[in-house]
DNA sequence: TTAGGGTTAG
């Protein structure tokens, strides 16, 4: 039996017995897994032993009962949640102390919603007990808008918590979550003492705001960095499209002997996915295995995405299959992976499998599903999924979903329908939606509708350089040179310059990067010439329309020849014995696509190209996209 | 009590 009968409390040594029993129950609570049902069992013991008024015990009990993400969060026998139960237990304590109040406030705060504030207001109205610093760190966690934070901050000032490290650190974090970098910095600057947590929170503030130089400046001036501050910096680089800097930091971190955990690895995985370099991906994967394999679904989902973006759909699927716990992220990542490689049917099959589980798809899942249909020309299926999303899953389509639908219809040549959908959508179309229409106009050579799309596009995204390039491409294809000049003049007037095309390719001695128009080594120049000769003999004729300048055909040919992916291909032919993998920063042009097709046949090589849209796998003269891109 | 993480269209 766990406890002696109640009567044993009534001894001359009652206080001593109670203390011993409290210790026993605390140990019991420490050993319990958390969740509502185990908590209820221990609560029964607490009541039997007459300790239901112990603030300390009850606070610990509530912390256990309200542990989130446990299946026991809902008790089917009483139809109550752990919060209903905790509230009830709390109300039975006649003199709750500040710690007990705070425990309940924190539990509500972690769940979101207004209850945390209501409870605090009740506490403040009573006037006793007075809040403690813990109370405010819990309240700041409950805030989701900076104004709420400012209101609570006024209370901290009044009660003298304005120099408390924990309170101020949580306040910085709140401003970071709300995107208020300046407010976060003001708190940071006025703190009498700061610790590594204050610094790291501030590094994150700058990283979220895209100011990686300011983040780096703080990071460099931190005398004692820990794993979290290193990881914050690394992830910041990855999130701001600076994968090389992220991986460089990862190497430095390892060299400095800083420990690494799953969060660090996720940052590195993410960076590697952006670079698209497969041998690096494999290295990081084996590092993950050294750390015990992808134990969390977070790492697994990141790995799936990484392998897909590095061109290996097979390895992405292997990771997915091996995952023992799958969730909406892992399914969405895998469906999106099939989509970017043009495997629409496989994406739809996996989506069906997902529907048979108890994991409901979310709006991101549908982006993947719709993109898969769009990249494979499965128009009716896409239309059907768009309806299912709304009717069955009650997900209202976002502008991104409309962009997919406009792309789906437009790509398939149903331009008017796409335009009609766009005009009747209930939310404001963003640049992506008009961009999809403009892209479809390019494919189907509809310069008139392109003008309509471009007009709107320039309104919502006046500095989107790609839009001007796309429009001038469309005019160029229609040989409307005056219009081409007009667009180019507009670009110049706005101080916009074309992003230089850039490709990188995996060689034996690392990754080689090429820019369009680079001066080439003799070796590469020769390899390129030989390739073009062989291709011409096999029927390749340069698509001069791809050049948007009104210059002679000879000059156009020279421009095309220097496109970075062609140079990368020539380099790959020289250095790689088998498959050639190229990553490009912009969209591949029609001419390069054609040459890749022909080259895969005449050079008898598999070529995999990732551009900023999707993957193309070239093999024996054909592309996996089936010319539908 | 307080800081770092995964899937998103053109």
Tell me what pLDDT residue A126 has. Answer: 95
Residue A80 has pLDDT above 90, yes or no: no
Read off the pLDDT of residues A365-424 as tens digits, 9 standing for 90 and up.
999 999 999 999 999 999 999 999 999 999 999 999 999 999 999 999 999 999 999 999
Torsion sign, CA atoms A235, A239, A240, A244: positive
Work out whether strand A580-584 and strand A607-610 pair parallel, antiparallel, or are unpaired: parallel
Q: Where are the domains of chain A?
A: 204-307, 418-498, 502-623
Q: Of the given ranges (A7-11, A529-533, A572-576, A590-594), which has the lowest mean pLDDT?
A: A7-11
Q: What Å value separates CA A231 and C1' B3? A: 10
pLDDT of A73 over the 80 cut: no
- pLDDT of residue A5 exceeding 50: no
Q: What distance in Å separates the CA atoms of residue A120 and residue A88, rounded to the nearest whole number?
A: 17
pLDDT band, residue A463 (cuts 50/70/90): confident
Mean pLDDT computed over every residue of chain A: 91
Using 50, 70 and 90 to split pLDDT, how confident is the model at A113? confident
**pLDDT confidence of residue A8:** 43
* pLDDT one-digit tens code per residue, A499-536: 889 999 988 888 999 999 899 999 999 999 999 999 99
A595 three-class SS: helix
Distances (CA, A) of A273 to A313, A376, A432, A587: 13, 23, 23, 18
| Cβ partners under 8 Å of residue A431, min gap 6 | A457, A460, A461, A464, A467
Residue nearest to nucleotide B1 (CA to C1'): A134
Closest protein residue to B2 (Cα–C1'):
A166
Query: Which residue approaches B4 most closely, CA to C1'?
Result: A232
Q: Which nucleotide shows the minimum CA-to-C1' distance to residue A265?
A: B5
Cis-peptide into A588, omega within 30 deg: no
How many Å apart are CA A307 and CA A615, to the nearest integer? 12
Task: Tell me the average pLDDT across A162-188.
Answer: 95
Percent of chain A with pLDDT over 90: 76
β-strand partners of A502: A515
Close Cβ partners of A88 (under 8 Å, ≥ 6 residues apart): none
Residue–nucleotide distance: A227 CA to B6 C1' (Å): 19
How many residues make up chain A in this entry? 629
Q: Nucleotides on strand B with an atom closer than 7 A to protein CB? A: 1-10
Helix (H, G, I), strand (E, B) or coil at A6: helix
Judged against a pLDDT cut of 80, whether residue A244 lies above it is answered with yes
Topology of domain A418-498 in CATH is: 1.25.40
> Quick one: tokens of A480?
């409307």
pLDDT band at A82 (very low <50, low <70, confident <90, very high): confident
Q: A358 CA, B1 C1': separation in Å?
A: 35
Q: Is the pLDDT of residue A7 over 90?
A: no
Q: Which of the nucleotides lies closest to A166 (Cα–C1')?
A: B2
Q: Which residues of A333-352 are buried (b: 16+ CB within 10 A; e: fewer)?
A: bbbbbbbbbbbbebbbebbe
pLDDT at position A330 over 80: yes
3-state secondary structure of A367: helix
List the A308 CA – B4 C1' distance (angstroms).
Answer: 25
Distance CA A416, CA A427 (A): 19
Going by pLDDT thresholds of 50, 70 and 90, the confidence category of residue A11 is very low
What confidence tier does A70 reach under pLDDT thresholds 50, 70, 90? low
pLDDT value of residue A6? 43
For A74, phi then psi, to 5°, come to: -130, 125
pLDDT tens digits for range A592-622: 999 999 999 999 999 999 999 899 999 999 9
Radius of gyration for chain A, computed over Cα atoms and rounded to the nearest angstrom: 30
In this complex, which residue's CA is closest to the C1' atom of nucleotide B5?
A263
Q: Structure tokens of A454?
A: 């471009």
Instruction: Identify the band that residue A199 occupies on the pLDDT scale cut at 50, 70 and 90.
Output: very high
Q: Is the pLDDT of residue A148 over 90?
A: yes
Q: Closest nt to A330 (CA→C1')? A: B7
pLDDT of residue A197: 97
């Amino acid at each position: 039996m766990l406890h002696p009968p109640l009567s044993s409390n009534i001894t001359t040594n009652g206080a001593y017995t109670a203390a011993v029993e409290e210790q026993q129950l605390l140990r019991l609570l420490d050993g319990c897994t958390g969740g509502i049902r185990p908590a209820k069992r221990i609560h029964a013991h607490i009541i039997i032993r007459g300790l239901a008024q112990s603030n300390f015990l009850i606070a610990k009990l509530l912390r256990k009962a309200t542990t989130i993400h446990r299946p026991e969060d809902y008790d089917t026998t009483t139809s109550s949640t752990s919060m209903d139960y905790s509230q009830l237990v709390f109300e039975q304590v006649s003199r709750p102390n500040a710690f007990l109040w705070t425990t309940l406030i924190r539990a509500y705060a972690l769940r979101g919603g207004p209850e945390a504030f209501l409870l605090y207001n009740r506490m403040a109205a009573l006037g006793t007990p007075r809040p403690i610093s813990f109370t405010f760190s819990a309240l700041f966690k409950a805030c989701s808008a900076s104004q709420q934070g400012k209101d609570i901050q006024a209370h901290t000032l009044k009660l003298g918590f304005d120099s408390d490290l924990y309170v101020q650190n949580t306040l910085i974090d709140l401003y970071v979550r709300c995107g208020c970098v300046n407010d976060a910095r003001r708190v940071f600057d006025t703190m009498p003492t700061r610790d590594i947590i204050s610094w790291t929170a501030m590094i994150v503030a700058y990283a979220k705001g895209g100011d990686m130089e300011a983040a780096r400046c703080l990071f460099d001036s931190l005398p004692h960095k820990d794993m979290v501050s290193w990881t914050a910096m690394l992830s910041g680089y990855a999130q701001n499209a600076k994968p090389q800097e992220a991986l460089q930091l990862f190497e430095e971190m390892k060299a400095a002997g800083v420990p690494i955990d799953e969060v660090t690895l996720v940052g590195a995985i993410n960076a590697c996915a952006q670079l698209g370099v497969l041998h690096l991906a494999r290295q990081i994967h084996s590092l993950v295995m050294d750390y015990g394999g992808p134990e969390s679904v977070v790492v697994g989902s990141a790995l799936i995405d990484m392998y897909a973006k590095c061109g290996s759909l097979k390895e992405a699927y292997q990771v997915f299959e091996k995952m023992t716990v799958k969730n909406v992220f892992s399914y969405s990542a895998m469906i999106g992976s099939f989509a970017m490689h043009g495997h629409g049917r496989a994406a739809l099959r996996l989506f069906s499998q997902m529907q048979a589980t108890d994991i409901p798809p979310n709006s991101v899942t549908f982006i993947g599903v719709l993109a898969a249909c769009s990249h494979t020309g499965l128009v009716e299926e896409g239309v059907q999924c768009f309806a299912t999303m709304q009717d069955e899953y009650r997900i209202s389509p976002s502008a991104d979903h409309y962009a997919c639908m406009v792309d789906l219809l437009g790509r398939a040549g149903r331009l008017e329908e796409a335009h009609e959908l766009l005009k009747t959508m209930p939310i404001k179309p963003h640049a992506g939606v008009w961009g999809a229409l403009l892209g479809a106009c390019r494919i189907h050579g509809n310069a008139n509708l392109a003008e309509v799309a471009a007009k709107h596009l320039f309104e919502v995204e006046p500095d989107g350089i790609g839009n001007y390039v796309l429009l001038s491409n469309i005019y160029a294809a229609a040989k409307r040179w005056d219009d081409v000049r007009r667009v180019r003049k507009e670009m110049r007037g706005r101080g916009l310059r074309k992003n230089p095309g850039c490709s990188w390719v995996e060689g034996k001695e690392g990754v080689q990067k090429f820019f369009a128009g680079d001066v080439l080594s003799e070796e590469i120049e020769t390899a390129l010439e030989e390739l073009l000769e062989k291709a011409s003999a096999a029927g390749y004729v340069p698509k001069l329309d791809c050049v948007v300048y009104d210059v002679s055909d000879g000059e156009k040919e020279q421009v095309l020849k220097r496109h970075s992916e062609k140079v990368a291909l020539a380099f790959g032919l020289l250095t790689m014995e088998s498959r050639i993998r190229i990553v490009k920063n912009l969209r591949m042009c029609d001419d390069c696509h054609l040459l890749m097709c022909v080259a895969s046949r005449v050079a008898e090589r598999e070529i995999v190209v990732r551009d900023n849209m999707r993957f193309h796998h070239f093999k024996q003269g054909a592309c996996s996209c089936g010319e539908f891109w």
